[in-house]
Amino acid sequence: MRSYTKSIALYEKSRKHMAGGVSSNIRYASVPVPLFFARGEGARLYDVDGNVHIDYVLGNGPAILGHAPKKVVDAVAASLVEGQVFAAQHPREAELAERLSRLLPGAEVVRFATSGTEAVLMAMRLARAFTNRSKILKFEGHYHGWSDQAFISTKPSLNEAGPADAPVPVAGSPGMPPSVLDDVVVCGWNDLDLLEQALERHRGEVAGVIMEPVMVNGGAIPPLPGYLEGVRDLCRKHGALFICDEVITGFRVALGGAQAKYGVTADLVIYAKAVAAGFPLALVAGRRDVMDTLLDKGVMHGGTYNGNVQSMAAALAALDILEADNGAIYRGMEACGQRLMEGLTLLGAKHGLAMLVQGMPAIFQTFFTSAAAPRNYRDSMATDRDAMLSFHAALQEEGVRVQQGGRWFLSTAHDKPVIDETLAAADRAMAKMVRH
């Protein structure tokens, strides 16, 4: 058994001066306590007790190049002497904006922010101002940050969620005012008929339809063939903006994100996480006429740390690596991710476990279910969560770190030897599950 004595002691100490002992509620999800890490390098994290973890959490997605990638770290280190925040513009902002407009589908202009939650709020405000409508339609199981306006029906219990064909908006946290639910329409995902019905029920009221183009937070569930195109067409028909939340999929599933992968362009797109390879940076990109409401209609968006020097330097350095040789690094990462997905599937069969591996090579989900692959949030809720928690605990004991819910992120540092080491650890972990 691994020892976590120092992490336990540090957690008890931190609880005295930090609310809950953590800086994000999501970080509670570690056993035996939220773990403390001393450093990260490549595909591995090193905790304060000396345990080494092959890391498939990767900061919940940002570390696309692994931990502490040298070229990015060097670029940021060189930028430190230039200053950090100016409350003004600097040349790297313009350089990065021009580059992103070239790389990202439909990105006529961009506006920088610091976190995905902020960027989501900006996109929703833009949609409301542009359309002069108040409601936002979102989908069950999709996560768009923790703000009052967005943290709705992200993980509702099914006894609260209402009927599948007309879900009830459910606040995701105490402290959210009931009034925010009046401005949100909730719909089941991956079903165009349900979306059309919802838009008809709220005809002329919906400013924007926001979604993860791949339902990452609900289980790395891909859109059905033709679904994204259908959503785009329904938005046009009903005068609503199509908003893609690519906070996770952007720069991860492809250089141009899920839009490029699936060949569908949204009106507004939100990016964060992998864009700066671990440094805080988010942005909204999209149609010039919509983005121009920031100036033409005086739509307010601000932020002291938006476009800060270090994040701009990190993003430019990361793009140098991701763009090199026509995106060759993605082909290598996808090959390794496919090897891992197929290997886990074979191991599940070997040990007689009803395990399903679903998603894309750069981000996928392990489910425990004998049913068909989930197509939406309610399908994913029917899988065996207890088995997933057991697998998570067994993997951690074997030196592999994944999210408790079963989501795996890959980086370019997860090469073939790391994948083979992971599969050997997963083999041992599954054997333990079967024994116990």
Q: Cite the active site residues.
A: 143, 245, 273
- Give CA–CA dist 184/210, Å, rounded: 11
Kindly state the DSSP code that residue 273 receives in the 8-state scheme: G
Kindly state the DSSP code that residue 65 receives in the 8-state scheme: T
Which is it for strands 37-41 and 206-211: parallel, antiparallel or unpaired? unpaired
Helix axes 227-238, 192-201, angle to 10 degrees: 10
Q: Please calculate the CA angle 239-241-244 and round it to the nearest 5 degrees.
A: 155
What tokens appear for 287 in the block?
């149609």
Return the closest-CA partner of residue 75 out of 272, 282, 254, 276.
276
- CA quadruple 172, 283, 199, 169: dihedral, nearest 10: 0
- Give CA–CA dist 387/10, Å, rounded: 29
Strands laid side by side in the 184-187 sheet: 109-113, 282-286, 268-271, 241-246, 206-211, 135-139, 184-187
Q: How far is CA 37 from CA 18, 30, 412, in A?
A: 17, 12, 21
